[in-house]
Structure 1
Amino acid sequence: MSGTISPTSEFDKPTVEKTENYSASVESVELGEDIDVDKEFGDYVQLGHELKSGGTFWTNLKNVEFPVTFKNRNNMVRFLGIFTSFAGILSGVDQSIISGASIGMNKALQLSDHENSLISSLMPLGAVAGSILMTPLSEHFGRKRAILISCILYTIGAIICAAAPDHETMYAGRFILGLGVGIEGGSVGVYIAECVPPTQRGNLVSLYQFFIAFGEVLGFAIAAIFFTVHGGWRFMVGSSLLFSTILLIGLLFLPESPRYLVYNNKYAEAINVYDRLRDISERTSKVEFLEMIKNAQAERKLRASQSRVQVWLDLFTIPRNRRALFYAVIMVSLGQLTGINAVMYYLSTMMANIGFSEENAVFMSLVGGGALWLGTIPAILYMDRFGRRVWGMNLVGFTIGLVLVGVGYLIPLETQRAAALGVYLTGLILYMGFFGAYACLTWVLPAESFSIGTRSIGMTICSSFLYLWAFTVTYNFNRMKSAMTYTGLTIGFYGGIAFLGFFYQIFFMPETKGKTLEEIDDIFEKPSMEIAKENLRNMKRFLTK
């Protein structure tokens, strides 16, 4: 008997028939009405046992997996969250390494300002293309294998960059690296969100931003290590080879998303994976799995009568989907149009402009990268405790940092060097630290906002916007700086967008803390003005306590 489960296999036929009659609402399931939760769930467990008894070798080979199981299911959840989030190191290293590498690379390849800007910005442009590829890859191959594909692209891109004899080859290498970043960026958040319990979702998806920030620190550290080495910039841009190899090995021990398997009628595989991620003796776990099947079945029925174009149109024409899309895009945009990528890519240059030597500027970049990394730690520990709305107020902190950075450039270095450096570095640390905490939201919120049928497409659009804004801000940084000055750019443009974003969050940001992905569907069924009124009522109650 084959271990591969298809929608027409003997394992799935009974399940499909049962779920056809599964008409209880989410509320009914939770209350135990209309269906016997234990019996219904037990039938799926039996399907999993039958699959195991038939042999799972071919199933594991197909899924590119060497399964591991922990007695404590929380340890398996943490293992999955940590290793998947490790992908962020690749993204972080490739974002920050160019800041230090550009000094030696500019001289070796004799780059003009325009060519330098293109090399820096082609990675986020490639990430836009990678984000577009993410949906067909993750839907056809699965969430985990999409991340594996991103590892392969990282490896190819790093080799091309390290061996590049001219700027045209660097263009190609950076673009291919961007493809990996884009596929990874959309896939990781969805994969983790679909695998982990709702009480840990915010913390573990935030871990991805933690590793991005840690990768950015590593990128600056690698640049500092190889700065004085002849041809050191080649070692810098090729360093992601090491991290892509580690990620590839770790992914071999992780399962496919149970929600992806359910959505594709692979119930036996799904329950076996779910058993590795939850204590299935608990009623809440049983209810979550049955809700997952109910929602997936409803989405499949809807998609069966629709073309691919209609699925995309549903994101805009169905109010629930449109609200989630608009909200997620706004939050992603706030994370990018406030200047973080421009600051990261040109941090060494900005340090040199404030008065540091070229070598010291590379070393001092570690200050900004370190603050960004440390800022993500509270998000991992406390976001699920305080909630998304409270966490969004980190925007205020990094706006203050932007103001101080802008003021630092106004203080004359010749007469008040200590004051200029002090104000600038204080602003940089505040900006990076608070942004590190805030940036976790830009991965958590899109990953949990969309329905299961639109999640891949929604994340594709969000990731595309994220990297499109990153490309726009990075590519135009030098021209915007010349037109607005450093102070005008940081305070007027980046700070102004953050100021507007504060009021959007106050009125229209819903609270999704501790809710299952299925419960979040209900939140976005509400009109935006109803959400705004609820937020205002909650604020009044809080202020009058």
Structure 2
Amino acid sequence: MTIGFESMPGSSGYLDLFPERRMSYFSNPYVLGLTVIAGIGGLLFGYDTGVISGALLYIKDDFEVVNQSSFLQETIVSMALVGAMIGAASGGWINDAYGRKKATLLADVVFASGSLVMAAAPNPYVLILGRLLVGLGVGVASVTAPVYIAEAAPSEVRGGLVSTNVLMITGGQFLSYVVNLAFTEVPGTWRWMLGVAAVPAIIQFCLMLFMPESPRWLFMQNEDTKAIAILARIYDIDRLEDEIEHLSASSLEDRKEENAVTYFDVFKTKEIRLAFLAGAGLQAFQQFTGINTVMYYSPTIVQMAGFSSNQLALLLSLVVAAMNAAGTILGIYLIDHFGRKKLALSSLSGVIVSLIILSGAFYGQSASPSNSLFGWLAVIGLALYIAFFSPGMGPVPWTVNSEIYPSQYRGLCGGMSATINWISNLIVAQSFLSIAEVAGAATTFLILAGIAVAAVVFVAAYVPETKGLTFAEVEQIWKERAWGSGYNSESLLERGDEDESSLPS
């Protein structure tokens, strides 16, 4: 049978008709297991971004040339971000050409190789090569994991399952702080800190060998039998027929346009351009509202606030990382109940307040250095920032980017938007301390608050609510925004070839 998808905003029409077929986050162990295994890529992402802060202290002890050169220190830190940008940019093409599974396996091989190169590095230049390799692996994984999870997930729990990947990222950051503390008294310190990251990459590689390819990608490759076998493990028999029919119809149109898809088409086609603007804008604002400023420099921020003890600074940073992971768990629940757009707006509102508190604390601390009250106010602002950011602007950009593009554009656009994230990450990481030195910490946090205000306007104007929608319904949103409400007059599955012929050239 053919199911029409006209429905209330923010709700899948199919599930409005058959509410008894809704699935919960924990209802299918197969889907949850697939999500966790794919999410190990997020763990590698988070671990790599967090571990270098502690490792660098000991790298400087081992290599005098690094200790004497700020440029080398910055290069060691930022080379992974450079690799991630390249990996994310190429990862979209790899995903579309070879599939989500092979892209994950490739990311694991490259990441594990980079970790082992870093652990054995005889000089800082080989270490920089290792950082480039792990960055390449992280970049590919940052594109692949959200798309792989989203394409296997039932629409009603897609947000929570994709957010599990973000939980793995924040969990990896927390783990990196724990590992840094654990290896401080072990001979070889930084080599263990950096080399141990190969273990989860190897584990994921072995487990992924037994995981299926994305059913949506298989449909795109005309491997319908394999795709149906996978869908049969995800959905019960009552829902399976409709999901197969829906995917078959969607992939038929996708295949017609598959060979024509290029980077230029993203900007040439109006509805794809609008979708990419929303996705890439969310990724940029995620970074420019300061999250990795907090994660990379939280010990420094604590010390700038007047707490000079290294031990206390590291301990408070560990608390910040734990709060980040805990907030993401809350986000997993909220994103499919509260909605992507509302969650992002609420998160950003709290971020603005937190950054203003941080700015006020540093302004007060500079005016009255001996007053410890302002130091504690800065720590409270830091904690509030994480509490508001982590459930919303942490998972929402990755979730939205995994679901707003048509199948034939999903890998390409996902890679492009992830590249925007990494470029923004690099800009923030490289500029925060310099801006704080020139303008002062108080002014710097006020600038971030201003950017967060701009992010609120952007989300309100350009990001649609996609909670519970099928991929076809999300695609319909962009067609309506691009070409008017006339695209809402018929069932998507009944349009067939008509869509292609009616699109303006």
Give the TM-score band, short-chain normalised. Answer: 0.7 to 0.9
Is the CA contact (8 Å cut-off) linking 2:340 and 2:467 kept in structure 1? yes
Query: Which amino acid in 2 is paired with 1:297?
Result: L
Q: 1:229 to 1:408 in 2, by over 3 A?
A: farther
Partner of 2:118: 161
Partner of 1:448: 403
Cα distance, 1:86 vs structure 2: 2.6
Partner of 2:243: 288
Partner of 2:416: 461
Distance 1:323 1:384 in 2: 23
Distance 1:104 1:486 in 2: 27
Partner of 2:499: none
Q: 1:333 to 1:25 in 2, by over 3 A?
A: farther
Which among 189, 193, 202 is matched to residue 159 of structure 2? 202
- Counterparts in 2 of 1:97-496, with a 5 A limit? 97-110=51-64, 111=66, 112-279=69-236, 281-282=237-238, 284-304=239-259, 306=260, 311-354=262-305, 355-392=307-344, 393-412=346-365, 416-438=370-392, 439-492=394-447, 494-496=448-450
Q: TM-score, normalised by structure 1?
A: 0.80
Larger Rg: 1
- Counterparts in 2 of 1:17-36, with a 5 A limit? 27=4
Is the CA contact (8 Å cut-off) linking 1:150 and 1:184 kept in structure 2? yes
Distance 2:358 2:327 in 1: 18
Distance 1:489 1:167 in 2: 32
Distance 2:384 2:484 in 1: 35
Give RMSD over aligned pairs: 2.3
Distance 1:417 1:370 in 2: 28
Distance 1:501 1:176 in 2: 33
Is the CA contact (8 Å cut-off) linking 1:292 and 1:518 kept in structure 2? no
Tell me whether 512-521 or 430-439 shows the greater mean CA deviation: 430-439
Query: Which amino acid in 2 is paired with 1:336?
Result: Q
Is the CA contact (8 Å cut-off) linking 1:448 and 1:517 kept in structure 2? yes
Distance 2:37 2:444 in 1: 37
Tell me whether 246-255 or 505-514 shows the greater mean CA deviation: 246-255
Q: Secondary structure at the match of 1:162?
A: helix
Is the CA contact (8 Å cut-off) linking 1:351 and 1:361 kept in structure 2? yes
Tell me whether 522-531 or 164-173 shows the greater mean CA deviation: 522-531
Q: TM-score, normalised by structure 2?
A: 0.86
**CA deviation vs aligned residue, 1:211-242 (integer Å, no higher than 9, x gap):** 10011111111112222434312221222122
Q: 1:464 to 1:244 in 2, by over 3 A?
A: same
Distance 1:222 1:458 in 2: 35
Tell me whether 146-155 or 195-204 shows the greater mean CA deviation: 146-155
Cα distance, 1:28 vs structure 2: 8.7
Query: Which amino acid in 2 is paired with 1:389?
Result: K
Q: Secondary structure at the match of 2:253?
A: helix
Is the CA contact (8 Å cut-off) linking 1:131 and 1:464 kept in structure 2? yes
Distance 2:246 2:347 in 1: 34
Identity %: 27
Q: 1:121 to 1:509 in 2, by over 3 A?
A: same
Distance 1:480 1:262 in 2: 50
Is the CA contact (8 Å cut-off) linking 2:91 and 2:139 kept in structure 1? yes
Distance 2:42 2:163 in 1: 10
Tell me whether 412-421 or 140-149 shows the greater mean CA deviation: 412-421
Query: Which amino acid in 1 is paired with 2:293?
Result: A
Is the CA contact (8 Å cut-off) linking 2:365 and 2:375 kept in structure 1? no
Tell me whether 499-508 or 72-81 shows the greater mean CA deviation: 72-81
Distance 1:415 1:440 in 2: 37
Cα distance, 1:415 vs structure 2: 5.0
Query: Which amino acid in 2 is paired with 1:125?
Result: V
Q: 1:102 to 1:347 in 2, by over 3 A?
A: farther
Is the CA contact (8 Å cut-off) linking 2:362 and 2:378 kept in structure 1? yes
Cα distance, 1:324 vs structure 2: 0.5
